Amino acid sequence: MKRIAVANGPNLNLLGTREPEIYGKTTLAEIENLVRARADQLGAAFVWFQTNHEGALLDWLQQNARGATGLILNPGAFTHYSYALYDCLRALDVPTVEVHLSNLHARPEAFRQVSVTAPAARGVISGLGVRGYLLALEHLLADD
């Protein structure tokens, strides 16, 4: 059975209330339920994680992403500075799709327009909201 790991970084636990004009009104629990339902439809096993701590994310990835069919990663703010996360992704060698609810390139802050983790990913989905998670899931489970 194919297995997808989904990891979410800092402050994503605040979705639904944190700057809804940027990140939308959908909570992280609602996103998890949507992705879980779609994974079930596609016959895939599914593990989900969120943390506000960089080391906890690295530990979880090393324990849960290795050997997965794919990884969906929303690194949150770690996107912009975590070379430790970049190194972890490279070491795991798991097909990864980086997902961002907002369009990084349209953000007014210059630092938010740069992803140091993206070069370790197969692809990046940015700015498509919750749909980005579902597209990443479908891509990672496709047989092409």
Rounded Cα gap, residues 91 and 81, in angstroms: 18
- Catalytic option among 53, 81, 86, 100: 100
Q: Note whether 3 and 69 are within 8 A (CB).
A: yes
Q: Is 100 a catalytic residue?
A: yes
Rounded to whole angstroms, what are the CA distances from 21 to 34, 86, 87? 21, 29, 32
Rounded Cα gap, residues 139 and 39, in angstroms: 12
Q: Is 80 a catalytic residue?
A: no
The separation between the first and the last C-alpha atoms of the chain, rounded to the nearest angstrom, is: 17
Rounded Cα gap, residues 34 and 103, in angstroms: 21
Q: Note whether 39 and 64 are within 8 A (CB).
A: no
Residues with catalytic roles = 23, 100
